[in-house]
Structure 1
Amino acid sequence: MDNGLVHEGDTFINFRRSMPDPKEHGFRWVDIKQLSFSAESADGRELLAALIGHEQFRDDYAGGGVLPDGTRHGPYWLRSITPDLYGSIGQEKAVRIIRDWVEPLRNVPTDLEEDLQREVFARVAAADDIYYLAELGDEAIHDWGRVHDQFHEFVLVDRSTGRITLLVAADD
């Protein structure tokens, strides 16, 4: 247990596995981290602060995995990320952002679309609250943080199950 959150597991969707032409996918992937929280942790900003403080948040998403003492999160320095940088968005906007990111692939294979429906869109639909990390300025990007062409981060809060989901859709 870390900051009131308990890591329950991860799901990784690698587009390369499903695309007929690996050059088409742009090394796209979705990383999903599931954490549980207690019922008394109801405030969204408190949940975001707990997530940012959790060791699972210390992932550069560049192949190194979670580093408990890490200083990076995705393309950003960890110290640059605060709960106030996450904007609350609706399900429709979240789906549109993800679909706009997936759409350039055209003709998404059936197995990949099924994975996205089950692991991404179903979680978005079940969320009571959805937070989206705004693109941070150049000063927040760490020394090799530009390896990601696109980096979309959502935090999904499902109060009925007591789960918070950190969903990152990116390409590199």
Structure 2
Amino acid sequence: MPDRGLLAALIEHEQFRDDYAGGGVLPDGLRHGPYWQRLIIPDLYESISQEKAVRILREWMDPPWDVPPELEADLQREVFARLASADGIHHLSEPGDEAIHDWGRVHDCFHEFVLIDRSAGRITLIVAADD
């Protein structure tokens, strides 16, 4: 299946209905992160390089303190190793103001990546968000 088909299947999955503001997945939910779920389409995802994805995530992380070694190990295993093994990395681009739901501006920063790893038969959704 082409990447666009995989992105469409991911968007339609009930687990995609998470506002990332503490409420968890709502199977009948209308929101995805700061956006109305119905307005997220595969064409909003830009194919990017591993280097660009790492740069975006490291800039987002840029903490004013040292990252604890346990957290750095978790991030390496769960995020950066998966980025390194992905065949395709897709970054959700800004869909515009009309896509932001009624309280979506609670997120100061929202980055979303879809990693496609065909050899592992895995799609990974990575969300880096502030609220």
The code of the aligned residue for 2:111 comes to H
The counterpart of 2:102, out of the listed 115, 140, 143, is 143
Aligned residue in 2 for 1:155: 114
| Secondary structure at the counterpart of residue 105 of structure 1 | coil
| Deviation for aligned residue 1:110 | 1.0
CA offsets, 1:65-113, max 9 Å, x none? 1111111000000111100000000101000000011124341111111
Match of 2:69 in 1: 110
Supply the distance in 1 between the matched residues of 2:86 and 2:75 (Cα, whole angstroms): 16
The reply on whether 1:87 has 2:46 as its aligned counterpart is: yes
Matched position secondary structure for 2:110: strand
The unaligned stretches of length 5 or more in structure 2 are none
Whether 1:167 and 2:126 are equivalent positions in the alignment is yes
Q: TM-score, normalised by structure 1?
A: 0.74
Q: Which runs of 4+ in 1 moved over 3 A?
A: none
Give 1:128 deviation, angstroms. 0.3
The equivalent of 2:86 in structure 1 is 127
Higher gyration radius (CA)? 1
Instruction: Give the TM-score, by structure 2 length.
Output: 0.96
Give the percent of matched residue pairs that are identical in Structure 1 and Structure 2: 76
Matching residue's letter, 2:128: A
1:48 maps to which residue?
A: 7
Q: Distance in 1 between matches of 2:120 and 2:76?
A: 19
Describe the shift of the 1:105–1:112 C-alpha distance in structure 2 as closer, same or farther (beyond 3 A): farther
Q: In proportion to residue count, which structure has more helix?
A: 2
Aligned to 2:34: 75
Letter in 1 for 2:85: A
